[in-house]
Amino acid sequence: MSGVQDYSIKNKIIKYFQDNNSVLGECALINIRRIYYLSIIAIPMRLIVLSTFMNTSYDTRTLKVWSQGIVASHFMLLIFMIGFFFYNS
């Protein structure tokens, strides 16, 4: 498909930072690649943390609320990392 512009996030980041410096485009690609590899490691870690905190019973209401907050935050991180993994693969 010649003549069709690619409007991916990766290319928008590169175009935004490449206006003033040619090195920034390469740095953006390197950082995107790092996020991809980080997501490969982070997804199993999030799953372990989620399973640990979801399968634990707590004595007090405070500990239960604290655990629910950890589960919610790690679930959001899991979704974020899965998105990066599939978008950049």
Which tens digit of pLDDT belongs to each residue from 21-74?
A: 666 677 888 888 898 899 999 999 999 999 999 888 888 999 999 999 999 999
The pTM of the full predicted model, rounded to 2 decimals, is 0.64
* Alpha-carbon separation of residue 74 from 20, 78, 82, 83 (angstroms): 37, 6, 12, 14
- Residue-wise DSSP of 45-63: HHHHHHHHHHT---SSHHH
84/7 Cα distance (integer angstroms): 16
Torsion, CA 46, CA 78, CA 34, CA 30, rounded to 10: -170
